[in-house]
Amino acid sequence: MDDFDSALVGSAFALAAELGWRNVSVAEAARRANLPLEQARTRFPVKGAILARFGVLADQAALKSSLAEGSVRERLFDLLMSRFDVLQQHRAGVLALLDALPLDPGAAVLLAGATGRSMGWMLEAAGCPASGLTGLLRVDGLTAVWLWTVRAWRQDESLDLSTTMAALDRALDRAEQLAGWLGGRAAAGGEASQSFNAPEMSAEEAAELGIVETIDPPPPPDTPPPASPP
């Protein structure tokens, strides 16, 4: 089924590049790719299934080529860049999707959930547990890293994605400095609950990329921490 799914997903993103994401339909994507409609109906009952399957295909490509050795940071860098290689294959269509997200809350929420699941798989593949409370915080942290790097990728016109690689490298450095979760360690000061805040990313920019509010700005330096609920 992977060949069928890849063909339909590719056709859908080609349509998005041509007509915009809001004008994409599963039926038209199947027709453009000369795929049987009855099979498309079974595999992709709704348009959102295209996004879900695209995320899985990107994950599979990354996991298939993941490094067997190296530090957690090195392996995460390799895994995430492999996912960007898949996005790059459908660049115009993915950019059309990202442009449409502010007016398509359903797709934005679906993409947010799919991104979280993908980041969990990337962490596990790199040897960094993504289960439990600490694992969920690591997923939030890596999601923020992904968000920051997607911003750079959207503007990156280089053939080798050098701008994207530099942004990912910087975001991973920042994550390790702020929370120390890349090696599975507790955050500075023994607080395992500290999570990574993407540098210079506003809530509006995060929403534009279709991610639910997982990134909160740090409080002013002199602001006391909020009181615990009763």
**Helix, strand, coil share (%) of the chain residues, nearest 5:** 70, 0, 30
Distance between CA atoms of residues 175 and 171, nearest Å: 6
Q: Which structure tokens are listed for 108?
A: 């934005």
Which pLDDT does position 204 carry in this prediction? 44
| Exposure letters 22-58 (e unless 16+ CB within 10 A, then b) | eebebeebbebbebeeeebeebbeebbbbbbbbbbbb
Of 153, 186, 158, 187, nearest in space to 171 by CA: 153
pLDDT higher than 50, residue 187: no
pLDDT higher than 70, residue 72: yes
* Residues in the chain, overall count: 230
pLDDT higher than 60, residue 113: yes
Distance between CA atoms of residues 166 and 51, nearest Å: 27
Torsion, Cα 105 106 109 115, to 10 degrees, reads -120
pLDDT band for position 155 (50/70/90)? very high
pLDDT band for position 215 (50/70/90)? very low
Using CA atoms, how far residue 172 sits from 27, 53, 89, 147, 181, in Å, is 40, 26, 24, 12, 10
Q: Which structure tokens are listed for 72?
A: 């957690």
Of 120, 125, 117, nearest in space to 65 by CA: 125
pLDDT higher than 60, residue 131: yes
Mean pLDDT of 191-210: 39
Mean pLDDT of 31-57: 97
Which pLDDT does position 178 carry in this prediction? 74
Mean pLDDT of 190-214: 38
**What mean pLDDT value characterizes the chain?**
82
Which pLDDT does position 176 carry in this prediction? 82
